[in-house]
Amino acid sequence: MVYRPLVLLIGIGMIGQLCAQPIDTLFARLRGLPVDSLEARERAATDPRMKMVAINRLTGQYAFLGRTEDCMKAAIRGLELAEATKNDTLLALANFGIGVAFTKLSDVNGALRHFNIAFDGYQQIGDSMRMSLTCKETAIVYQQVGDIDGTLRYMRKAQAYGLGQGFHGRSMTILARCHMDRGDLDSALYYARLADVMKVPGTDPYGYAAYKLIMAAVHAARGENDVAEPYYKRALAVADSAGTLDALIGASAGYAKLLIGQGRAEEALAYARKGFAATDEVRQPTLMIRSTTALSDAFAANGMIDSALVYSKLAHAWRDSLAALQNRSQLQNQLFTQELKDREDAKLRAEEVADRSRNIQFGIIALIVITLGIFLLIFSRTSVVGAKAIKNLSLIALLLFFEFINLLLHPFLDRVTNHSPILMLLCMAAIAGLLIPLHHRMEKLITNMLVSKNNRVRLEAARRTIEELEARPNESNAN
């Protein structure tokens, strides 16, 4: 029996240590988990921070997998959780997730707005690592719309705040891609080399393949095909063994183009077919366009014109599919934006109700204080108050009472008048027209009561003075 309290205290201490774990530790615990495991973690989590971390991871995973609707729903769940806790860190994470969802929907304004909110939140709590991450994601938004200058500007900000180990290589890849698009191939090579820091795939085969692929693309753009080829082969080998299909498709298409340029048409066709085969599991339009275009070019290089035409038409069909998907994305974007707006409107209405309730309470308190003050003045046996003071007090009471009535009736009048300012003004004027005559009568009644009381007080004071004066001669004679 003696040990039970000790066991209980140890258990409470362990729970406290779990709740006190830094948010980065919670992120590390969920790193690399697949979607189904993250969904299970979110459902089982009771700690709001752990649930938020799981939601944040899910938002990114859904975005990566092209599951736009799931990405939006996860982002909104995160926002609901953060607003319920009112925790600055969770609110910043939630807005970051909303920004990711808007990025997936290609809504530049929505993404930038919420990334800026997240950045301000991280700045307030002093989280420079996530400030850097937010700048990097903002740079990706600019990159998607082809604004290279904007991309570079935010990447420089990300570098200034310190690139975290988990996204340093990917950041260098973005910079390399920007400089390659600008035709600055020396700078592109410099950043590609900074990205190519992984010597073995390890626990991040996707990152390894992506880094090798950017090195291959930069060297190919520089015309250094003999250097680019080994990088393409490494990227293909790792992407194939690890099952990172988007990297496999990209590397196959890039390598096939390089081989066609060298006159190695048969090899190019083999790699183009390898990339196209990988699309059976990944039916994303952008990847399909790349793989079918590469296969069409490879067939054409081999003189197989009919097959080249078939896959050229297929590439055009996937471009049409991409346009349809973008239209659907715009519709989802509108629904997502409207849902967020409805949440914001509901939040504002709740705040207005709370403010009105507080103002009503303050009005009641003020009315009670002034009313008690007036009654104390009326029924006090000694104080003498002039009519001017009563007039001022009654005017203050009238204004407070009018504001109190306004607060009470405002929601009702708002509905009845359908938000018409003129009708609202007429209603307020009618209420004032009823209150002012009542105020005059009350003021007159109170003034009369005070005049009568003042007269009694003065008469009583005069009587006491006369009695004191009459008593003084008698005291003199006695002496």
Find the CATH number of the domain harbouring 310: 1.25.40.10
Query: Do 210 and 266 have their domain in common?
Result: no
User: Is residue 345 assigned to a domain?
Assistant: no
pLDDT at 11: 43
pTM over 0.75: no
Q: Tell me which residue of 104, 136, 105 sits closest to 122, measured CA to CA.
A: 136
Judge contact between 213 and 235, C-beta under 8 A: yes
In a 13 Å sphere around the CA of 83, the CA atoms on its Cβ side amount to 14
Q: Tell me which residue of 276, 280, 279 sits closest to 293, measured CA to CA.
A: 276
User: Is residue 409 assigned to a domain?
Assistant: yes
pLDDT at 450: 65
Find the CATH number of the domain harbouring 192: 1.25.40
Which of 192, 222, 243 represents a domain boundary (last residue)? 243
Query: Do 109 and 198 have their domain in common?
Result: no
Query: Do 316 and 274 have their domain in common?
Result: yes
User: Is residue 352 assigned to a domain?
Assistant: no
Task: Please state, in angstroms and rounded to a whole number, the distance separating the CA atoms of residues 210 and 224.
Answer: 19
pLDDT at 400: 65
Q: 177 exposed, middle or buried (CB, 10 Å; 0-12, 13-18, 19+)?
A: buried
Task: Please state, in angstroms and rounded to a whole number, the distance separating the CA atoms of residues 299 and 294.
Answer: 9
Query: Do 222 and 256 have their domain in common?
Result: no
For the chain, the domain total comes to: 4
Task: Please state, in angstroms and rounded to a whole number, the distance separating the CA atoms of residues 107 and 75.
Answer: 15
User: Is residue 217 assigned to a domain?
Assistant: yes
Neighbours of 394 (CB within 10 A): 19
- Which range marks the domain in which residue 170 is found? 165-243
User: Is residue 479 assigned to a domain?
Assistant: no
Query: Do 221 and 250 have their domain in common?
Result: no
| Mean pLDDT, the chain, whole residue set | 76
pLDDT at 17: 39
Query: Do 129 and 18 have their domain in common?
Result: yes
Which of 218, 243, 268 represents a domain boundary (last residue)? 243
CA separation (Å) from 465 to 260, 384, 452, 460, 476?
123, 17, 20, 9, 17
User: Is residue 53 assigned to a domain?
Assistant: yes
pLDDT, tens digit, for every residue of 19-48?
445 777 887 788 778 888 888 888 888 888
User: Is residue 139 assigned to a domain?
Assistant: no
pLDDT, tens digit, for every residue of 304-325?
988 888 878 877 777 666 555 5
Query: Do 222 and 273 have their domain in common?
Result: no
Query: Do 261 and 311 have their domain in common?
Result: yes
Find all residues with CB under 8 Å of 65, minimum gap 6, and list them.
35
User: Is residue 344 assigned to a domain?
Assistant: no
Which of 300, 325, 350 represents a domain boundary (last residue)? 325
Task: Please state, in angstroms and rounded to a whole number, the distance separating the CA atoms of residues 471 and 479.
Answer: 13
Find all residues with CB under 8 Å of 448, minimum gap 6, and list them.
none
pLDDT at 3: 39
